[in-house]
Structure formats: structure tokens, C-alpha cells
Amino acid sequence: MRAMEDKDIKQRIVYLRAVLEENSRKYYVENAPAISDFEFDTLMHELEALEAQYPQYASEDSPTRKVGSDLEQSGGSPQAMEPGIRREFAQYPHAHPMLSLANTYSIGEVEDFAARAAKTLDHGFTYSCELKFDGTAICLTYRDGKLFRALTRGDGVIGDDVTDNVRQISNIPQTLKGSGWPEEFEIRGEILMPYSSFDRLNAQRLRDEDQPFANPRNAASGSLKLLDPGEVGRRGLWCTLYHIAGDNAGFATHEEALDAASSWGLPVSDKRRICHNISEIKQYIDYWDTERRNLPYATDGIVIKINEISAREALGFTAKFPRWAVAYKFKAEQALTEVLSIDYQVGRTGAVTPVANLSPVPLSGTVVKRATLNNADQMALLDIRIGDMVYVEKGGEIIPKITAVEKSRRPAGAVPPVFPTVCPDCGTPLVREEDEAKWFCPNSDGCPQQIKGRLVHFMGRKAMNIIAGDATADQLFSKGLVKSPADLYSLDKYRLMSLEGWKDRSAERFLASLAESKSVPFPRVLFALGIRYVGETTAKEVAVHFRDIDSIASATVETLLEVPDVGEVIARSIHEFFRDPRHAGEVQRLRAAGLRMSMEEPTGPSSEALKDLSIVISGTFSISRDEMKALIEANGGKNSSGVSKKTSFLLAGEKPGPEKVRKAQELGVKIISEADFMKMLPQTDTEEDGQFPGSLFDTMI
């Protein structure tokens, strides 16, 4: 019997470790958490208790002894990531380990934390209480008063270098002000996405039929690892800093250190408070559990730290946590409300999404009336009925989500809703592809909602930037003037003035924006076509790789897979789009209207020095990766995303990806440095002056 119990315990421990590691990867690497923080923490605490009770099953590799890592791991699921996320960053060690915090949902455990500290320390001490910001951890290094490097938490020992992206965050100073800062120091904090920026980003993603981010933390983390620093700047990220690592630059207390950091121009929170006992800590927690709903950014708890540096040194660290700090986490706010009805919305790609209409209920500072149910599988999992009382949750999840059904209050006779078998807009039978969670209407050119959705997408700011919105698209379609984007370019002032509400000035502005759209660069034209799964960044990558629409249209799936960040699903979607004669005809009409269907040729230096060479780049260089790729193409070379037998050489910069280096060595592919690569190119006066032609890429997009 005892052996059976031990076996069951060991199996439970193995299971918990596997679940926690999988969900840690989803949270930190993919930014697509599958379970709530509370569920994750509950499983972690269960594993901690079992390992403490049965030390024979303890392991150094257990999630209880490791910091959650945001470093890319083999076996991950890039498809779950946002398109445009970098797969490789240079990596550097932290000067001091970047640990996480022990957390609790119990005020009793906060009392235990304070009691343990008092028992260990032989002198009085105070607490610094601070908001626990719901963002992604960052470590900034300043050298001689200037921002030198920005690293993610990584695995706590090394982190990804995201300096170029962090420089785009407006409240992070490039140069410190005042005086008194150490010659070099690390300061840590969080990168946040304020609610206003989050709402704008998700509204755009929904218009593009991209999966919206579940919460600002995921959005901030995903944004920090984008390919394009300019796009990072447009995301509206914000930073708050809360800890100078190491010896705290000689300060006696944590509070003094943060006050000094603030005087240097660093963004330090003004919401912190010094507490002298557990009663004051409770008051601080109670205040912010309510007041946090009025903040412009997400918080999910309170961090309580010992304020005195000498006391911290006496308390020390565990393998994973500092013993001088603990995080008290707020429970997510819930509300119970009734499901009034369920609508089925059709998007521009034909995806049918169920949405629950709810009896209005106040939640986290807003009134919630609707909540998406995602797909038919989610509806079945919830076992939801019209008339059910359901729990709606926001907390860190800014998008309202139905988490459970209160079945004890289910009305008699309630029957499961039937997911439609035909399109609710045009009546066409729905289809569901093998690997898809959603049902789709295949009538892409006859379904009114899809047509109007594509028109809105085409005219959007990040696409053709035509001055119009949903109402204009609906009006133009309903009056029979526009059934496809190409029809827009046949409109004239006379037809527009015949529509209700149109005046001379509005018609002229609309036609002027149509004319201006003809100068939109090719990558944005490709994005505007609305190919399923092809977002803004992917469109740019594909456009730069193939150079013109005809090359993309004739590309095979295998050729499309050579584009960085294009996987099997995206490649097949692009290939199938251009195989459709209707789409091919639409492209020709847009070409005839004067839209750009190719990249502008670079005006910088060019040669055939790299002709017929297939080159893979990895790591960081003296110029950006995009500039390096442009330099390769300008000299006749071809950029390839993966190392194969056909690769001419691997161009390795600083901190190249270990997997690419390993594969190159296995296949006998030559690995060359940036310096050796530059020697292969024709020398120019600018190169001799040490300035490589970085303007090449600027002329291409």
C-alpha cells in the first residue's frame, strides 16, 4: 500500500512539473497563457508542498527552483506568437541574478513573512510597500550616465538584449540628469502597456482579425520582442523602475536609492509607501485593492520589501527568491450576470465568432455587456446556455471573459445553443479546416460582412490610409457602389455626392486620400489585400524578400517558407490566395488603378560580389539586421532563414543563435564574421570612413 502511495505521489509531482513548465513557456515565451495566474500559483504551491514533504523526489530542475524564463526554447510554438516577434536576440549575463518573488494570496502569509524577518534580524526595520505592476521585467544598465544595455529577465542569469526596442519607450531616459549616479549600475523594473495603448492595439488587431492580446502584460511582453523598433515605439509602452541591483550604490535604504534614481530622471513609481508594521501594510493593501481600478495601467498586487539594505543582506536569498521580499496578489474581480443571447459575428476572413450578450454588470471600473466565447469548442467546454448565470472576470484580463457557469441557477428547460451550420450573414454552409478552432464562411466574395470587413481593412491607417471607416464602407457597399477594394478607384465626385450625408468638402477629401493611397509603399499594399494570417510585419518581410507582386503570386509553398517568420500555415495561405482567379483579377485591377506592386529599387551601391550565394545571418552586427539583409541583396546575394546544405555560409555576428551555429557545423557550412564579410564587398569611400551604407534599407520601404 505504501509503495502504491509513493508511486502516486511521484506521478503527481512529475505531472505538476510538466504542467508548470508548459504553462511557464506559454506565459513567458509565447505570451499566450492558457491558465490564470491563480491557477498557476495554486499548482506551484502544491508542488512546493509535495517536494517539501517528500524530499526524495526533489530535483534541481524543478520549476519550484527556477525562475520563469522568457528565453526562446526548442520545442516552442512560434505559431502562437505575434508575427514579427524576433526568434533570436543577442544574450548577455546579468551583473546580479534577476530573481522572481515569492507570492501569496493570503494576508496570513504576509504576516508569516514579517514574523520570519523579525525573528532573524536583531534590530528594527521598516517595509517599503509598492504596487506590483503587471508588465514584463526589464533590466537597464547605465554606463557613464547613458543607457548602455537593456535585458529581459531571461532565465534570471542571462537575458535577451532588447536595447534597440527599449530606446523607443518615451519615458526611459537615454541620458541621466543631475549627478551622483554610479559609473555603471543596473536598475530593474517593468515595461507596461497602459490601458489606452492596449485598447488601441487590440482594436486594430480585431479589425485585422488577429488574435487580440488577453491582457496588457502579454501585449507589453510581445511588443518588446518585435523585429521593428519603430513599431515598438508606436505601441505606447511605458516603464516604471523599482530596484537598483547590487549594493544599491552605497545607499542605506531602498527608499533612498529610489529617491536618488528619481532625481536622475529615471521613472520611479510615486505610489510607494514606507510601513512600520503589519497593520500599516494591511491598510496599504486594502487601499490599493480598490484604488487600483482608477490607475491607467494594470496592477495585480502589492510588493512588500524590507527597506534597510543591511537587513536584506542578513536575510539573503533562496535559489529562486529573495527572503527580504514577498508579493501579495489581488484575486481577480468577478461578477455574476445573466446570458441574454448569443450572436454569431462574421469577420473579414469569414471566421464566425460567438459573442454572449450579457445583462449589464459593473466590473473593474467599466460596465460589461458583452463577452466573446471564442469558438464552438469554448462554448461546449463551458456548457453554456441562454439564461444561464455566468461568472465574468477581468482583473488583469482587460477583455471580459466568461470563466464559469453557475449551474445551480440554470433555468429549467434551458437547452444548449446550436452553433450555426450556415453563415448567419449570407446562408452559405460553414466549413472547418482540420487544424482550425473556428468555423469559416467560404463565400468570401459574396458574403456582405466579409466584403465590408475587407473594405475597412483595406482603407485602414496601416494599410492604404484612406479617410473612411466602418460607416463609409457599409454605405458604399449597401448602395452598390463598391464590392471590392478595386471599385474604390472608380468612384467619382458625382457618385459620392449622391449619397446621404456627403458634402462637397467630404467628397473631395475622400477622393484626395484615394489618390494619395497610390503612393503607399508595396509592403502596405500587400498587407491591405487582407490575406489570412498575413499581418503588417509579415507582409513587409514577404515584400522585401520577393520584391514584387508577380514573384509572390508565382511562389511555391517551399519558396515562401524561406521568408523569415513565415511558417507552413502562412505560406499555404499566401499560396492559396494567389491561386484564386478572383484574387488574381483583383490584383490586376489594383495594378491598373496605379497602386504600387513592387519595391522601389535601392539607390545605394550595388554589385554582384555575392551573386548566387545563399546567406543566413545570425546574431547582432554593427548595423541593424534589416540593413545587413539589404546589403546582401544589394550585392547580389540571397537571404535565407535557415541553414541547409544549400547555404553558402553563415554570417555570424555577436552572440549568434547556437542552434544555427550547431547546424552549420554539422553540415560543414562555412561560418564567417562580419569583418570577413565586409571584405567580400566592394570598398567605397563611406566604408573606408567606417560608415557602412545603412541608407540602403531606408530607400527600400
Other Cβ atoms closer than 10 A to 109: 15
Q: Percent of the chain scored above 70 by pLDDT?
A: 86
- Which residues are part of the catalytic machinery? 132
Nearest 10 degrees: CA dihedral of 547, 550, 551, 553?
A: 120
Tell me what pLDDT residue 278 has. 94
pLDDT at 76: 35
The CA–CA distances, whole Å, from 207 to 3, 210, 476 equal: 57, 8, 18
DSSP 561-611: TTSTT--HHHHHHHHHHHHSHHHHHHHHHHHHHT---BPPPP-S---STTT
d(CA 38, CA 45): 10
CA atoms of 564 and 551, how far apart (whole Å): 16
> With 70 as the cut, is the pLDDT of residue 203 above it?
yes
Q: What is the pLDDT of residues 407-447, one digit of tens each?
A: 999 999 899 999 999 999 999 999 987 767 789 999 988 89
Q: For 543-552, what is each residue's pLDDT tens digit?
A: 988 999 999 9
The confidence band for 82, taking pLDDT boundaries of 50, 70 and 90, is low
pLDDT of residue 246 exceeding 80, the answer is no
| Burial class of residue 324, CB neighbours in 10 A (0-12, 13-18, 19+) | buried
- The residue ranking higher by pLDDT, 365 or 58, is 58
User: Which residues are registered as beta bridge partners of 671?
Assistant: 650
User: How far apart (Å, rounded) are the C-alpha atoms in residues 365 and 386?
Assistant: 26
The per-residue pLDDT for 481 is 93
Q: What is the CATH number of domain 333-441?
A: 2.40.50.140
Mean pLDDT over 509-514 rounds to 93
Per-residue pLDDT, 551: 95
Nearest to 557, CA basis, from 581, 538, 583, 575: 575
Q: Rounded to whole angstroms, how far apart are CA atoms 423 and 428? A: 5
Instruction: Please state the rounded mean pLDDT for residues 452-461.
Output: 91
User: What sign does the dihedral 282-287-290-291 (CA atoms) show?
Assistant: negative
DSSP state of 264: T
The verdict on domain 448-593 having CATH code 1.10.150.20 is yes
**Spatial separation of the C-alpha atoms in residues 388 and 337, rounded to whole Å:** 8
What does the block give as the cell for 374?
A: 471564442
Identify residue 397 by its one-letter amino acid code. Answer: E
pTM for the complete prediction? 0.52
Instruction: Characterize the bridge pairing of strands 334-346 and 325-329.
Output: unpaired
Mean pLDDT of 488-516: 92
Q: Supply the pLDDT for residue 67.
A: 56
Kindly report the average pLDDT of the chain as a whole number.
84
Is CATH 1.10.287.610 the classification given to domain 2-66? yes
Highest mean pLDDT of the ranges 17-21, 209-213, 303-307? 303-307
Rg (C-alpha) for the chain, rounded Å, is 28
Region 474-486 average pLDDT: 93
Joined together, the cell numbers standing for residue 205 give 488587431
Mean pLDDT of 134-160: 91
pLDDT in tens, 553-612: 999 999 999 887 788 889 999 999 999 999 999 999 999 999 999 987 655 446 788 988
Residue 538 pLDDT: 85
Cβ-contact 255, 308 below 8 angstroms: no
Which comes out higher in pLDDT, residue 604 or 474? 474
Q: Which CATH architecture fits 614-698? A: 3-Layer(aba) Sandwich (3.40)
Joined together, the cell numbers standing for residue 182 give 554610479
pLDDT given at position 685: 41
Q: What is the mean pLDDT of residues 308-316?
A: 91
List pLDDT tens digits, range 180-193: 899 999 999 999 99
What is the rounded CA–CA span in Å between residue 237 and residue 218? 12
Please say whether the beta carbons of 379 and 419 come within 8 A: yes
Q: Give domain limits for the chain.
A: 2-66, 84-329, 333-441, 448-593, 614-698
Query: Cα–Cα distance between 207 and 221 in angstroms, integer?
Result: 21
Query: What are phi and psi for residue 456, nearest 5 degrees?
Result: -60, -45
Least confident of 259-273, 619-633, 659-673: 619-633
Q: Please give, one letter per residue, the 3-state secondary structure of 655-695.
A: CCCHHHHHHHHHHCCEEEEHHHHHHCCCCCHHHHCCCCCCH
Q: What is the 3-state secondary structure (H, E, C) of 172-239?
A: CCCECCCCCCCCEEEEEEEEECCHHHHHHHHHHHHHCCCCCCCCHHHHHHHHHCECCHHHHHHCCCEE
Fold of 84-329: D-amino Acid Aminotransferase; Chain A, domain 1 (3.30.470)
Q: How far apart are CA 268 and CA 554, in angstroms?
A: 54
Bridging pattern class, strands 158-160 and 614-618: unpaired
